[in-house]
A and B are shown apart, each in its own frame.
Chain A
Amino acid sequence: MDMSKDLVAASATPLVLAILAEGDSYGYAIIKRVAELSGGHLQWTDGMLYPVLHRLERQGLVAAKWSTSENGRRRKYYRITKEGRAQLAAQRQQWQVMDGTLRGIWMKACTV
């Protein structure tokens, strides 16, 4: 499915934060997790994730650390911070409101 660019951009922050809330991770694994969670419907252009991660890092929502991966290559791992968790909770509420609103309209449309 082709998602609109704006929607992808708006949902990137809560998605990344939510995935990091599950545990520390790195770029490639985050992309894989997104594809998995969306059943393959949500396909990001891989490279675009990194500017998002760097923005979250700058905003202090995630922290990054270079360490060695299982295959011996240096890898940058991201961890959600306390501010990140607070931000995730706020975003979660907003998305629930949005989701509930749309659901309400579409349920009505179905019954009519």
Chain B
Amino acid sequence: MTTFTDPPLEEQIAQWREYLRRRRAVHGPDVEELEGHLRDQLMALTEAGLTGDEAFLVAVKRMGSLDALSREFAREHSERLWKQLVIAGDADTSANTVPAETLVVLCLAVAATLAVKVPALFGHPISPNEEVPLFYARNASLFVFPLLTVYFMWKRGSDVVSSLWLALPFGAAVVLANIYSFQKGSDTVALTVLHLPIALWLAVGFAYVRGRWFADGGRMNFVRFSGELAIYYVLIALGGFVVIAFTFMMFRAIEMNPDWFVAGWLIPCGAAGAIIVGSWLVEAKQSVIENMAPVLTRLFTPLFTVLLLAFLATMAWTGSPINVQRELLIGFDLLLAVVVGLVLYAASARDPQTPPDFFDALQLLLVVSALGVDGVALAAIAARISEFGFTPNRVAALGENLILLVNLAWTARLYASFMRRRGSFANLERWQVAYLPVYSVAAALVVIIFPPPFGYR
């Protein structure tokens, strides 16, 4: 190897190599080739009598600017600008661990698909001609979330003691989901179905951050993970629909009815396995592809702001009151949840150090207008809630509305002080992540204490 006795020169070469390596279009072997060229050039120049510094300046100048060079490389190797998701990872760093991970993920995904089929052995079959038994909806999160937790515990190398602690919520969930004798088609069972996953997601989060809930931005990473998983899940589901459509088309062409297979196997097993596979993809591609959730946030924050403002303006202009219907409160809950999601994912992609900009003002406007809309709706509902009576749905919806309202009100306050440069953005981020367990705890309360007082209605 041509090494130079001049240590500063070697240092300069190393620095130049680092700069080159950061260019996406220039890959490792190219760097080696170009470095070889630089060294040949340096050799010739020092032999001609130049000092190390002079030779380096001349050689680098002759090589051309790195910008122009990487532009040329990008033109020749345009495929390199599309970051490819290569599960195999870097050949040198993680050669041994990746196949093991692939194997673990594969086993867990298969386990998830089988878990869905186990109840069929014990008298809970899924048949295409009947409605899916309530058993599946009640236990939906219990088929996959424990396996997902196992995956994260394996991946993060958690110890046995914390694993046992995490088994606790799942054990409790199994009992709670099945012990209550709900009436057929009751509201409380629907509430359990909706809220159990939200409650258990916190346990998955604990496994994700390796039990260190409060350390090193782990909670925000879990938020990012959740958003990306949701997006991946939707994408996988879209692919699944295509598979289903072709299954029907092809087997019906040969006079076979694939109903039993699609309804009994493909959809339930696929839905379960996709969560594990989606999580693995999110983990694997963390650094490969731009996160999608913040991009969607940027797109939809202005749209929702305009929508809310237009709604308020129209109501003020026409003076028509909100027509309070039964499910209205749930609709406004969802609206607030969307706004909280927009705030959360905007925060997840933001550098807390940068000063407030136009987008922050937009976010504040979004939050304030959401508060305004919800305030109007709540006032209308409060006036008539006694007429409707307190059903479990309404109590849950009202409680959740208050939880989201508190979050947004405080968010608006923190945003306002940030805009006036009295506080930092980190305060807002801290508030959002600190609030995360509240959702899960509230959901857990709905699951635990709602059914008995409402008589399992």
Interface SS majority for chain B: helix
The stretch of A14-22, A41-49, A80-88 in contact with B is A41-49
The stretch of B63-71, B136-144, B424-432 in contact with A is B63-71
The stretch of A70-78, A92-100, A102-110 in contact with B is A70-78
- In the complex the two chains form, is B37's CB within 8 Å of A27's CB? yes
A36–B77 Cα distance when bound, in Å, is 30
- In the complex the two chains form, is B63's CB within 8 Å of A45's CB? yes
Question: Smallest distance from the beta carbon of A20 to chain B beta carbons, Å?
Answer: 16
- In the complex the two chains form, is A48's CB within 8 Å of B69's CB? yes
- In the complex the two chains form, is A55's CB within 8 Å of B76's CB? yes
| Nearest B-chain residue to A70, judged by Cβ | B2
| A-facing residues in B6-40 (Cβ within 8 Å) | 29-30, 32-34, 36-37, 39-40
Question: Smallest distance from the beta carbon of B92 to chain A beta carbons, Å?
Answer: 16
- In the complex the two chains form, is A71's CB within 8 Å of B34's CB? no
- What are the residues of chain B within 8 A of A45 when measuring CB–CB? 62-64, 68
- What are the residues of chain B within 8 A of A47 when measuring CB–CB? 34, 37, 63-64, 68-69, 72
The answer to whether B91 has its CB under 8 Å from any CB of chain A is no
Question: Smallest distance from the beta carbon of B44 to chain A beta carbons, Å?
Answer: 8
The answer to whether B41 has its CB under 8 Å from any CB of chain A is yes
Question: Smallest distance from the beta carbon of B311 to chain A beta carbons, Å?
Answer: 55
Q: How many residues of B contact A (CB 8 A)?
A: 22
The answer to whether B1 has its CB under 8 Å from any CB of chain A is yes
- Name A73's contact: one of B29, B36, B72 (CB within 8 Å): B36
The answer to whether B213 has its CB under 8 Å from any CB of chain A is no
| Nearest A-chain residue to B43, judged by Cβ | A71
A62–B63 Cα distance when bound, in Å, is 22
| Nearest B-chain residue to A72, judged by Cβ | B1
- What are the residues of chain B within 8 A of A72 when measuring CB–CB? 1-2
- In the complex the two chains form, is A75's CB within 8 Å of B75's CB? no
| Contact A51/B73 with A45-B64, A46-B41, A74-B32 known, Cβ cut-off 8 Å | yes
A55–B40 Cα distance when bound, in Å, is 23
A 16-37 binary contact with B (CB < 8 Å = 1; else 0)? 0000000000111001000000
Binding site for A on B (CB under 8 A): 1-2, 29-30, 32-34, 36-37, 39-41, 62-64, 68-69, 72-73, 75-77
Binding site for B on A (CB under 8 A): 26-28, 31, 45-48, 50-51, 54-55, 58, 66, 69, 71-76
Please give me the 3 A-B residue pairs with the lowest Cβ-Cβ distance, nearest first: A45-B64, A28-B40, A51-B72
A-B contact pairs, 28 of them (CB 8 A): A26-B36, A28-B37, A28-B40, A28-B41, A31-B37, A45-B62, A45-B63, A45-B64, A45-B68, A47-B34, A47-B64, A47-B68, A48-B72, A50-B30, A50-B33, A50-B34, A50-B37, A50-B73, A51-B72, A51-B75, A54-B30, A54-B73, A72-B1, A73-B36, A74-B32, A74-B36, A75-B36, A76-B36
